[in-house]
């Protein structure tokens, strides 16, 4: 059966500090994940050859760097643009933009960051990627939390209210497989 692999990038320096967005490199833990990833992927896929799709941000490119496959970068796979909140922590967002913080919590899917994007915007920009994925075999996507929530929700038919809260853990490869009954998800976590 057809299957697709997804992973978030390994832990980044910004993740360690709890900062949104940015274009930081991997932390030492994240780099460990990147080095372990080829072994995990070959355990999951055997010796099937894959094509790896990353975003254009350092943390996904670094995460994929040891995978011995062809790689393609897509801007459409970049993380949700947090606009004026880029580089802040959630508590700084709450302090600086209290009303925005409340609005986002009321409707996380529709909330558009000032100067940035909403989850709905991300879903729209992912449309060509999803169309292409429907036709492809043996793809691994290395991207970001918000983007992977959107892709996962599309294939698992999760509604837009729940979409922004889907758990996409770090240091985990998710495998989607199409069966006669629909799409199934399996998770393979590395303890790093
Ligand atoms: O914190 C990592 C991160 O990828 C941020 O760059 C991004 O803004 C956030 O996660 C998306 O998650 P949420 O929509 O839950 O804030």
Per-residue model confidence (pLDDT) at position 86: 98
The answer to whether 9 is a known catalytic residue is: yes
Residue 26 has pLDDT above 80, yes or no: yes
Q: What is the residue-averaged pLDDT of the chain?
A: 97
Could you give the 3-state DSSP secondary structure of residue 149? helix
Q: Average of pLDDT values for 48-53?
A: 95
The model's confidence at residue 47, banded by pLDDT at 50, 70 and 90, is: confident
**Ligand 1 neighbour 147 (Cβ under 6 A):** no
Instruction: Tell me the two tokens of residue 62.
Output: 């670094």
Q: Is 48 annotated as a binding residue?
A: no
What does the pLDDT look like over 72-85, one tens digit per residue? 999 999 999 999 99
Closest by CA to 143, choosing from 70, 62, 60, 87, is 60
**Which carries the bigger pLDDT value, residue 191 or residue 33?**
33
For 129-175, write each residue's pLDDT tens digit.
999 999 998 999 999 999 999 999 999 999 999 999 999 999 999 99
C-beta of 150 in contact with ligand 1 (< 6 A): no
**Residue 192 pLDDT class (50, 70, 90 cuts):** confident
Nearest CA to ligand 1 atom 6: 21
Query: CA–CA separation, 86 vs 82, rounded Å?
Result: 5
pTM above 0.95, yes or no: yes
Pure H helices in 46-185: 58-64, 90-96, 98-106, 119-125, 127-135, 145-156
**Known catalytic residue at 162:** no
Task: Write out pLDDT tens, residues 103-134.
Answer: 999 999 999 999 999 999 999 999 999 999 99
CA 156/CA 136 separation, integer angstroms? 17
Q: Is 11 annotated as a binding residue?
A: yes
């Amino acid at each position: 059966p057809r299957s697709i692999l997804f992973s978030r990038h390994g832990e980044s320096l910004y993740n360690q500090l709890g900062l949104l967005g940015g274009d930081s490199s991997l932390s030492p833990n994240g780099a460990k994940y990147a080095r372990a990833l080829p072994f995990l992927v070959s355990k999951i896929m055997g010796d099937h050859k894959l094509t790896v799709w990353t975003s254009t941000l350092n943390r996904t490119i670094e995460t994929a760097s040891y995978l011995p496959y062809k790689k393609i970068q897509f801007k459409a796979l970049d993380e949700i643009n947090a606009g004026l909140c880029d580089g802040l922590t959630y508590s700084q967002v709450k302090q600086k933009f209290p009303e925005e913080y409340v609005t986002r919590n009321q409707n996380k899917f529709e909330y558009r960051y000032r100067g940035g994007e909403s989850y709905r915007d991300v879903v729209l920009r992912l449309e060509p990627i999803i169309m292409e994925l429907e036709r492809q075999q043996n793809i691994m996507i290395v991207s970001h939390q918000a983007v992977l929530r959107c892709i996962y929700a599309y294939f698992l038919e999760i509604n837009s209210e729940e979409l922004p809260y889907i758990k996409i853990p770090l240091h985990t490869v998710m495998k989607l497989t199409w069966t006669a009954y629909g799409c199934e998800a399996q998770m393979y976590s590395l303890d790093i």
